[in-house]
Amino acid sequence: MSHDFHPTVLREYDIRGIIGETLGPDDARAIGRGFAALLRDEGGSKVAVGYDGRTSSPVLEEALVEGLTMSGVDVVRIGMGPTPMLYYAEASAEDVHGGIQITGSHNPANYNGFKMVFKGRPFFGRDILTLGKIAAEGAWIDGEGTAESRDVLGAYVDRLVEGLSGIDRESLSGLRIGWDTGNGAAGPAVEMLTARLPGEHHLLFTEVDGTFPNHHPDPTDEANLADLKALVAEKNLDFGVAFDGDGDRIGAIDGQGRVIWGDQLLMIYAEDLLRDVPGATIIADVKASRALFDRVGELGGKPLMWKTGHSLIKSKMKETASPLAGEMSGHVFFAHEYYGFDDALYAAVRLIAASARLGRSVTEMRTAMPDMINTPEMRFQVDEERKFPVIEEVRERLAGTDADVNATDGVRVTNEDGWWLLRASNTQDVLVARAESDSEAGLDRLMAQVDDQLARSGLKRGPQAGH
């Protein structure tokens, strides 16, 4: 017996599809069987399984557990919770050798998917393609695994609170913070966490509801921060934090309602961390501001620009022994005094800690940052078979010029006006463009260069992609 996945489901960083159309219980069962075969082949025998608050998640969880146990792997079911709680369950338990979280992350309510960790490392790219190959060949192993339930929420929250260790909690008693979990899976954990933190906490939408009735759980879209901004303004709070649907990406606003983007948060974390770990390597993806890389250098750290994608960043952290990394998308990774995975709840605690240790409010730190003018992340469709060749064409054309090109992930060109980026998405049939300057005129010149390169490859930005 074999199984074929829909061609759109197996992606670079995870597995994701539309329930009832491209993804269902049979896929979940096949994922369990394939993952189990790979784990047993490397001497593993037990997998933690969790799921988010989507209405389709419990059914997929049942099928996934069935697939794992049918292949002779024991399962620790940790129930509904944020993805980082699953990562914690895998990282903190000596008897667990892998983890699978069922989650659609920040996708619309009719999507779902799987994020995986394998013997302490990210499971992505070639690993996921191997799962597809095993399923297509039906190369599964039969066996009889067991399933047990384990409550890890309390222990996970205990570990989050440790992010404030060494700080005088009395000094934080006047802190007032807003939290918006967007009806996502992080809600119950945030309720438990904030009850343990000093200060005053105002919570929004912590009831888990997979239909997301209040707003879409994607904090990188400023429109989704409107409720949090209103709360911070109404209550005159110090700052606010928001989470995506599965709690591995953070969004933040300061006391004036200004968004603190992923690279700006990393500037705060880096300043705090580099006092403790001088000269450390700090990683950010190619979409991050030049201001971040400059700031890390000023603080005595080693800035490293790397490819976009949470699995790719986590792998690079292990390779370079970096204690801190982040992405524009709000994934923040602390290996310093933590496990190195992306955990938005822990990132929120570390924001409180950084403000306390640096002796400046979040609003003061946001105000001190340079005012760069940048585009949002512009995404425009291109045929799947054309997206990578277009990037290669741009790279070849620029190779014959004196342009300052970073080809880590796509093409990032730096000049006197600032920088522009063009890269192919690993998960969708789109090209991604972004530019940053210190003036509107400079930004226009940069975008003209992007448009020129696209035109030379027979493309143009769609009408939705203006800046």
Output the pTM of the full model. 0.94
| Same-domain status, 410 and 276 | no
| Same-domain status, 162 and 235 | yes
Q: Is 165 a catalytic residue?
A: no
| Same-domain status, 213 and 79 | no
| Same-domain status, 173 and 141 | no
| Same-domain status, 390 and 417 | yes
Task: Determine, yes or no, domain membership for 200.
Answer: yes
Q: How many domains does the chain fold into? A: 3
| Same-domain status, 229 and 81 | no
Task: Determine, yes or no, domain membership for 8.
Answer: no
| Same-domain status, 202 and 329 | yes
Task: Determine, yes or no, domain membership for 4.
Answer: no
The CATH number that applies at residue 441 is: 3.30.310.50
| Same-domain status, 280 and 315 | yes
The CATH number that applies at residue 89 is: 3.40.120.10
Task: Determine, yes or no, domain membership for 234.
Answer: yes
- Domain containing 459 equals 373-465
| Same-domain status, 147 and 165 | no
| Same-domain status, 359 and 379 | no
| Same-domain status, 138 and 193 | no
Task: Determine, yes or no, domain membership for 9.
Answer: no
Distance CA 454, CA 437 (A): 20
Task: Determine, yes or no, domain membership for 7.
Answer: no
- Catalytic-role residue among 57, 105, 322, 437: 105
Task: Determine, yes or no, domain membership for 3.
Answer: no
pLDDT (tens place) for every residue of the chain, 467 residues total: 899 999 889 987 789 999 999 999 999 999 999 999 999 999 999 999 999 999 999 999 999 999 999 999 999 999 999 999 999 999 999 999 999 999 998 888 999 999 999 999 989 989 999 999 999 999 999 999 999 999 999 999 999 999 999 999 899 999 999 999 999 999 999 999 999 999 999 999 999 999 999 999 999 999 999 999 999 999 999 999 999 999 999 999 999 999 999 999 999 999 999 999 999 999 999 999 999 999 999 999 999 999 998 889 999 999 999 999 999 999 999 999 999 999 999 999 999 999 999 999 999 999 999 988 999 888 888 988 899 999 999 999 999 888 899 999 999 999 999 999 999 987 778 899 999 999 999 999 999 999 999 999 999 886 443 33
| Same-domain status, 211 and 294 | yes
